[in-house]
């Protein structure tokens, strides 16, 4: 498929609507992406034609739903290059996957073991580990960042020791757009036999990670960041860890045999998939993967990089505007403030002009504390955004500045 931006935009029904009397300019893709007709049609098709519970039924609808759901798992295995199909575990999203792993390590960590996170994590990759450390007596350590919004790897290496059991880092910062050097982070952690979990919620719409090449232990992401539905995601769990960690929840599907005397658990991936899953969500996730791969990630990255470069240049031409996150490796996120103006006020005015941006701390309050700011205006671009939409953003920000100064 050649990269035809207008043809792509035609696949997204919501992009043709108006907001406050203006054409919608959707620049909140880091929070959630919009959905193409191909994904919406997959959802409608499931509920219209073969809605049924999976894995347990012998009737035709159940078999069709099971086949479609497991076909989606296979697509995800191939997309992320997991070695085994059973290493792909369906979850309710990134946060669910992180908590699943944290729950498992509550049975493994001991007092004074050490856990490392980075200074630029989303709250969902901070709070579960704080809770884990409180429960086990383990110690939480933090990789610092510099003014450009990059992790200081020399300090990371100093934190590592034989006490380090777990390292957790996001692949891309949701607040800054920084692409972290996860290959080196994983390699260094493994030198101390520490496990690594990578939060891929922000990366998987821009990057196609090769999980075998990365040799990562756990990788989590959400479908709704990748043109799929909300309420579904995956946890990649290396097979060796899948055998070690205890189940996260008890219930149907995750069992092999149940008696009142003893229950034995199912094999992977079902060991971690208790209850009726988001069947439709999993199937639609597979449709979203097909859609993105049909466009091609090389084409997506090239287009988004052009938008990022152009938006950065145009916004920096506005006097008093500061961009946070200026590292060399970066994806299509621009977080900024204008001197003397609260980000919320800018966001409110640009919304009146039909432009959707995010304001606040973006569930990354430690980053805002580092910069000593209350939050930022964040414009995050996807492959269906255009240069003309960047121009509309810049014009709206200029108007907001004139009104608020």
Strands (E) across 120-178 are located at 139-143, 164-170
Give the 3-state secondary structure percentages of the chain, helix then strand then coil, rounded to 5: 45, 20, 40
DSSP readout, 232-260? -EEEEE-HHHHHHSPPSS-SSSSEEEE-S
Strands 233-237 and 218-222 turn out to be antiparallel
Both structure tokens of 180: 């972290």
DSSP assigned state of 14: G
Query: Catalytic: 227?
Result: no
Q: How far is CA 119 from CA 175, 268, 323, 326, 386, in A?
A: 12, 33, 18, 16, 32
DSSP assigned state of 335: E
Q: How far is CA 330 from CA 335, 340, 375, in A?
A: 12, 27, 19
Q: Which residues have a Cβ under 8 Å from the Cβ of 129 and sit 6 or more positions away?
A: 102, 115, 117, 140, 166, 168
Report the C-alpha dihedral over residues 327, 328, 330, 332, rounded to 10 degrees. 100
The residue written with tokens 């579904």 in the block is 232
Handedness of CA 345, 349, 351, 352 (dihedral sign): positive
Max CA pair span of the chain: 72
Catalogue the active-site residues: 363
């Amino acid at each position: 498929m050649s990269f035809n931006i207008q043809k792509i935009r035609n696949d997204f029904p919501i992009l043709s609507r108006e907001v406050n009397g203006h054409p919608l300019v959707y620049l909140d893709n880091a929070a959630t992406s919009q959905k193409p007709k191909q994904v919406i049609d997959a959802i409608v098709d499931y509920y219209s034609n073969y809605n049924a519970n999976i894995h347990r039924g012998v009737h035709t609808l159940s078999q069709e739903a099971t086949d479609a759901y497991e076909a989606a798992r296979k697509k995800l295995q191939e997309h992320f290059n997991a070695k085994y199909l059973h290493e792909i575990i369906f979850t309710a999203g990134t946060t669910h996957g992180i908590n699943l792993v944290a729950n498992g390590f509550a049975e493994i960590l001991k007092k004074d073991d050490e856990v490392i996170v980075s200074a630029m994590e989303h709250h969902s990759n901070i709070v579960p580990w704080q809770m884990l450390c409180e429960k086990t007596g383990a110690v939480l350590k933090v990789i610092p960042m510099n003014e450009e919004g990059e992790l200081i790897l020399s300090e990371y290496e100093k934190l590592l020791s034989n006490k380090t059991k777990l390292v957790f880092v996001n692949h891309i910062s949701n607040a800054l757009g920084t692409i972290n050097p996860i290959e080196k982070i994983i390699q260094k952690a493994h030198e101390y036999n520490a496990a690594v979990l990578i939060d891929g919620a922000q990366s998987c719409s821009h990057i196609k990670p090769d999980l075998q090449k990365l040799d990562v232990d756990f990788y989590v992401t959400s479908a709704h960041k990748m043109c799929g539905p909300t309420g579904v995601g995956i946890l990649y769990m290396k097979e060796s860890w899948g055998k070690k960690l205890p189940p996260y929840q008890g219930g149907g599907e995750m069992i092999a045999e149940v008696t009142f005397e003893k229950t034995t658990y199912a094999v992977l991936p079902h060991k971690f998939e208790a209850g009726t899953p988001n069947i439709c969500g999993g199937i639609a996730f597979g449709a979203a993967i097909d859609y993105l791969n049909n466009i091609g990630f090389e084409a997506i990255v090239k287009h988004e990089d052009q938008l990022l470069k152009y938006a950065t240049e145009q916004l920096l031409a506005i006097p008093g505007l500061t961009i946070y996150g200026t590292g060399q490796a970066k994806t299509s996120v621009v977080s900024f403030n204008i001197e003397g103006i609260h980000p919320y006020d800018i966001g409110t005015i640009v919304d009146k002009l039909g432009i959707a941006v995010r304001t606040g701390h973006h569930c990354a309050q430690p980053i805002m504390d580092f910069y000593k700011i209350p939050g930022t205006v964040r414009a995050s671009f996807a492959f269906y955004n255009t240069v003309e939409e960047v121009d509309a953003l810049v014009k709206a920000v200029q108007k907001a500045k004139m009104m608020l100064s």
